Amino acid sequence: MRPILAKRGTQTVRYEISDTFLRFWFRYFEGNRTLVEMNQFEVIEHIINEDYTTYSGKTLEEYFKQKFIESHEYRDMGSYWEAKKGKEQCEIDIVALRLEKNKAVAVEVKRQRKEFKPEAFAEKVQHLKDKLLPKYDVEQLCLTLEDM
């Protein structure tokens, strides 16, 4: 995966397993193969319970990306990430360019709305606009389980 609008050949690449079963398997079982071989299934269960909100957040992100695709309102879509020097990484879960000229949507996906920090997200969106979409009107959204 490359950030939205990134040129081919850029170094900013992430590899991702798109199949949800395989992603679950590699995250929890393949990564803990020794525990599986030692029949330490209670430990694996604990690991899954501790990490499941993070894992399921990615699945929720994929759900909303699919909904955006099915709406037929966008001409390009992806995620955006970039390391900012001396600061936390700038990452936006979904950036979708509307069919209308110079209109886009930036989306933060959270399981619960109370975890959304509007000021921090607005700062990330402003960085995106300055860096990549200076002439765009960018709508900011937070999508949660409630929006399914």
| Model confidence pLDDT, tens digit, residues 49-75 | 999 988 999 899 999 999 999 999 999
Long-range contacts of 96-100 (CB under 8 A, 24+ apart): 96/68, 97/4, 97/136, 98/73, 98/74, 99/73, 99/74, 99/75
Q: What is the pLDDT of residues 120-141, one digit of tens each?
A: 999 999 999 999 999 999 999 9
How long is the chain? 148
Give a yes or no: residue 5 inside a domain. Answer: no
Number of domain units in the chain: 1
| % of the chain residues with pLDDT over 70 | 95
pLDDT at position 89 over 90? no
CATH number of the domain residue 124 falls in: 3.40.1350
Give a yes or no: residue 11 inside a domain. Answer: no
Tokens 């991702």 locate to 16
Q: What is the mean pLDDT of residues 68-84?
A: 91
Higher pLDDT, 86 or 39: 39
CA-to-CA separations, 94 to 20, 60, 108, in angstroms, rounded: 18, 11, 7
Mean pLDDT of the residues in the chain: 91
Q: Which domain holds residue 83?
A: 20-147
Contacts of residue 55, Cβ cutoff 8 Å, sequence gap at least 6:
23, 24, 27, 28
Measured over all CA atoms, what is the biggest interatomic distance in the chain, rounded to whole angstroms?
57
**Residue 3 pLDDT:** 82
